[in-house]
Chain A
Amino acid sequence: MASSSKTITVVSSDGDEFEMTMKAAEQSKLITHMLDEFGVSDKVPLYNVNSETMAKVMEYCKKHADHEAAKEEDGGAAIGAGGEEELKKWDDEFLKVENGLLFNIILAANYLEIKSLLDSSCQAVADMIKGKTPEQIREIFNIKNDFTPEEEAKLRSENEWAFQED
């Protein structure tokens, strides 16, 4: 890939190849560093990310790269405050996926060092558990309660303040 074509290829753990523009690639600090180190000619192996997650991450990077480009072009005029809100709405819709994929997106965003995606996706999961009791949290994520009744009682008394009503 010649650098003038402004695209790079990344390879997922499943062996699938994805093409992304340089601008989109720059959303990820990890990819940027790898490109700085090793140049754009080779394919970038991202073996910690599977294809399904990669596709979503690509979509995110492209959307945010396009948004940034639009901001630069119009000098911020066309985007304005409405544009930021629109992007936020797009992010919210984008993250409405089932839990497994959402968690993989978080892990991928962490690995690829895409701060905005990491923040948004973590916030989405955080919102799921806000104000919930431990039992409810276990239900949402199908987590096994591995405490003994005594341990659980001790924990509850330690955190009694949180269980009190306002």
Chain B
Amino acid sequence: MKRPHAGDDEKMKKLKLVSVDEQGDDWASGNPSGPLYFDDNLLFEVLKHVDARTLAMAACVSKQWHKTAQDERLWELICTKQWANTGCGEQQLRSVVLALGGFRRLHALFLWRLSKPQSSSASASASSSSSSASWPAFQPMMRSKPSPRLGKDEVHLSLSLLSIRYYEKMNFNNRSR
């Protein structure tokens, strides 16, 4: 849980000039921690408690927030919160997902769409260009599942699509060995 400070101290010093609060708490590490000083640790702990959308928003706030919000552990929490029993061990699943591109990508590309009711297919077609070509075929299935809790099938589907995407991006020359 305790991690060393990242090299963002310079930016934090600038923040102190902007704030007008008189508090000026002196954190023992010696950094000028004005009332708005965001320790990386603190930010990580806080972001453990937000939902997926807020986490994505957090990634756009500032460079420090971006770095913290990209952390795979946070996205793993978000993904696994939604999953029912996947039928495989936590560590095993983690290795597979991380090898195939990570939880953040898994969520942004596939899980997010599975967990919200599809009101129109337009939102799917306007999605990022890296989504699998076979995606539109699954739209009818999504509409009948408004519940955010994902079962084994949805999880396996997402993992399969993640694998497909991974192979699509592989260099074809290497594959012919």
Chain A residues packing against B (C-beta within 8 Å): 13, 47-48, 50, 52-53, 98-101, 103-104, 106-107, 110-111, 118-119, 122-123, 125-126, 129-134, 137-138, 141-147, 152, 155-162, 164, 166
Chain A residues closer than 8 Å to B173, beta-carbon distance:
none
Smallest Cβ distance from B94 to chain A, in angstroms?
23
Smallest Cβ distance from A15 to chain B, in angstroms?
12
> Bound state CA distance, A137 and B123, in angstroms?
26
Q: Main secondary structure on chain A at its contact with chain B?
A: helix
Compute the total of residue contacts between A and B using a CB distance below 8 Å: 135
Chain B residues packing against A (C-beta within 8 Å): 1-2, 11, 14-15, 18-19, 21, 23, 25-28, 34-39, 41-42, 45-54, 56-63, 65-66, 108, 112-113, 116, 119, 123, 127-128
Chain B residues closer than 8 Å to A47, beta-carbon distance:
28
Besides A110-B2, A131-B54, A155-B59, 4 new A-B residue pairs in contact (Cβ under 8 A), listed by A number: A98-B35, A103-B35, A137-B58, A144-B62
Chain A residues closer than 8 Å to B39, beta-carbon distance:
103, 107
Chain A residues closer than 8 Å to B48, beta-carbon distance:
122, 126
> What are 17 A-B residue pairs whose CB atoms fall within 8 Å in the complex?
A47-B28, A101-B35, A103-B42, A110-B41, A122-B48, A126-B47, A126-B54, A137-B65, A141-B36, A143-B61, A155-B59, A161-B56, A161-B113, A161-B127, A162-B52, A162-B53, A166-B116
Chain B residues closer than 8 Å to A50, beta-carbon distance:
25-26
Assess the A103–B37 pair: CB atoms within 8 A.
Answer: yes
Smallest Cβ distance from B83 to chain A, in angstroms?
19
Chain A residues closer than 8 Å to B27, beta-carbon distance:
48, 104, 107
